[in-house]
Amino acid sequence: MFDHTSAQALETSFDTYTFAQLPESSRKALALEFMTRLARDDDFREALVRNPVATAAHFGFAIDPNKLPQQQIRLPEKAVIAQYLEVLAARFSAQPSIIIVFGL
Mean pLDDT by 10 residues, the chain (104 residues): 37 49 76 90 94 88 87 90 86 64 55
Structural domain boundaries in the chain: 8-94
Q: What pLDDT sits at residue 46?
A: 95
d(CA 59, CA 33): 9
Helix extents (H) in 12-98? 24-40, 42-50, 52-57, 78-94
d(CA 26, CA 19): 9
Question: For residue 53, what are the contacts with CB-CB under 8 A and spacing of at least 6?
Answer: 11, 63, 65, 68
Residue 30 near residue 22 (C-beta atoms within 8 A):
yes
Q: What pLDDT sits at residue 79?
A: 92
Q: What pLDDT sits at residue 20?
A: 66
Q: What pLDDT sits at residue 17?
A: 52
Q: What pLDDT sits at residue 93?
A: 75
Q: What pLDDT sits at residue 50?
A: 93
Q: What pLDDT sits at residue 10?
A: 38
**78-94 and 24-40 are packed helices; what angle lies between their axes, rounded to 10 degrees?**
160
Q: What pLDDT sits at residue 47?
A: 94
